Structure 1
């Protein structure tokens, strides 16, 4: 593992434990087992680690989506697999997502969000184009713009359950089903 990766993973742990405000760079380097000067070779401040943490989480989302995704299943099931992956990771890492949003919003790094999400956007856009090419979704769908809307909607629905509301498994199931119904209608799904 590289020193940069050690810093990022240590930052996640320390931010989760102490919160963004109470964390000091010295806490992060102590947890990473590196010298404080090494930290500054990679990041100018503790908040500048946030885009790297966000990148790690987007990579986790992509990995989980690809792990659950099965080409041989019907489109309805594939959409559900994508939604399930995002809901699962939001539940498992709710504290990390909360600190990313809190930390990245405090910095000039918010403009990096689109770059961080580019791999997920590209994957989703290709998924939608393929579904469109075989006639499974409506022809009038603009896959580029819809990609960002769909990812944002899925993440927002998961965050409402796991970050903002009092978590309740039944409510999560109902929210997920409503989201899937909405996506099926929005995509003009042809079964």
Structure 2
């Protein structure tokens, strides 16, 4: 439905090495329903996916805050997620969405940033299978499912899950804040 998310502002947080489809597919899905999208990255200019997709950067995590947006999308990719979880401004930006009870969608390796933000304890989640132990050690209830929604937190495993991930991301953004989406 075109215009379903008209007026909703969504931040994407990524850096070089993201999984191309995990950025481009949700971006296109959200754009198609009228959301206003902003690419946030610790890099300036543009970032490049592991397979060559280029994405222009609109702002750094230190220039924006969760209150500027209605939701956050975290694409995966090992290199991307590993760099973001060591960037204090990126971690603080992601954590802000939980403090404000706003929807967050994370796929593949992206939950590493959420572990670092300290927001996964007690949450039911999925991810790329290699993060299972990391998430469980951080207190999450990890499950091997295509897509999991836990009070505004949407998680998926791999690019094969993008159709379900995109649909649930659109749905959760449309529903808005969830008071149980918190740190």
TM-score bracket for the superposition, by shorter chain length? under 0.3
Give the TM-score, by structure 1 length: 0.24
User: Greater Rg, structure 1 or structure 2?
Assistant: 1
Structure with higher helix content: 1
Structure with higher strand content: 2
